[in-house]
Structure 1
Amino acid sequence: MTLEHIPEFHLGRIAPTLAVRDIHAAYKLYRDVFGFQKAFENGAPVGFMILKKDAAELHLTRNPNHKAPPYNVAHLLVSDANAAYRSCQHHELRIIRRIEDKDYGLRAFVFADPDGNRVDVGEILQR
């Protein structure tokens, strides 16, 4: 297939899905650290949950045998990276990369949640 044959269409939202061992503990963490609220859940026991805050959406899926990969699984843009960093520290999340200004225009850091999921957090720097 060549590029001329790709149909033109617009993309909608795309949301990362994080596998977690305890979905309720993960929800509490993302609520307390970032302010996410539960928008949807299903299953008995709950096996899937959608969290939302502002324009951000995060999906959680329960996997009791989850082993996180050794790379970032999501990227979250924030309006204040310093405040997000302090919140992660306050909640004793493991910091993978300390906060710093990057040459590609972000003030960013990486944390790991209790399930080992690595999330890159960044604020766009004004030039």
Structure 2
Amino acid sequence: MTRPADTVPDTGFRRCGCCGRQRPAGEVAELGVTPGVYICAGCALWAARRAGLLSALREIRIRDLLPSFLNRAQAPHTATAAIPILPSSDLDRTAAFYARAGFTDADHHDGYLLLNNDGVELHFAHHDTVTPGTCFVHVADATKMWKQLRERGVDGVGEIADQDYGLREFVLTDPDGNRVRIGSAIPDGQ
């Protein structure tokens, strides 16, 4: 028996009308022309790729527009970046591992390590007992970086895969078990 919509209890979740998965209400959008039908971000990106809309958006260089937008939109003391601090049981071993992945030692002192790769920073703090952490690094071309790491024989490089939310990703797992997810937009036509 189906109850009228006005008597259905609100669980805070909505079913995506495309993939059928239950999502929190804040992670779906109601289709304006079809009230009561929702779509998740992953399916919206899939639909945009199929319609060719993402290729048009990619032509706009968001990176070029961002500084002027931030200068207008930011109040003093507004955060501009977040950098997780990952644990390391041996900072020298961590620096050597990430050097093979293209990161340079930007600052290394007692109990702390800062690595850099073309403006991307990874921070590590020494801990005798490590509970592995996770972070995400956006790159221009995940496939290219994945191939380079494989060719260099870097340990801990996982398989690369396209995600339903529009990114191509792989995981780089360091000797302490930290998982650095590396990804980029899926190229058009793939």
Residue in structure 1 matched with residue 132 of structure 2 by the alignment = 68
Residue 105 of structure 2: aligned partner? 38
TM-score scaled to structure 2, two decimals?
0.53
Q: Which residue of 2 aligns with 1:118?
A: 179
Deviations 1:51-81 (A, max 9, x none): 1121211101111221326xxx100111221
Question: Which 5+ residue runs of structure 1 have no aligned equivalent?
Answer: 1-7
Q: Secondary structure at the match of 1:85?
A: helix
* Bigger Rg, which one: 2
Structure richer in helix, relative to its length: 2
RMSD: 2.1
Unaligned runs of 5+ in 2: 1-74
Paired residues, number: 112
- Please, what TM-score do these two structures have when normalized by structure 1? 0.76
Q: Which residue of 2 aligns with 1:19?
A: 87
User: Which consecutive segments of 4 or more residues in structure 1 shift more than 3 A?
Assistant: none
Residue 86 of structure 2 contacts residue 132 of structure 2 at CA under 8 Å; is this kept in 1?
Answer: no
Q: 2:116 aligns with which of 52, 61, 65?
A: 52
Q: State the secondary structure of the residue aligned to 1:59.
A: strand
2:146·2:157 contact (CA, 8 Å) conserved in 1? no
- Percent of aligned positions that are identical: 30
> Of Structure 1 and Structure 2, which has the larger fraction of its residues in strand?
1
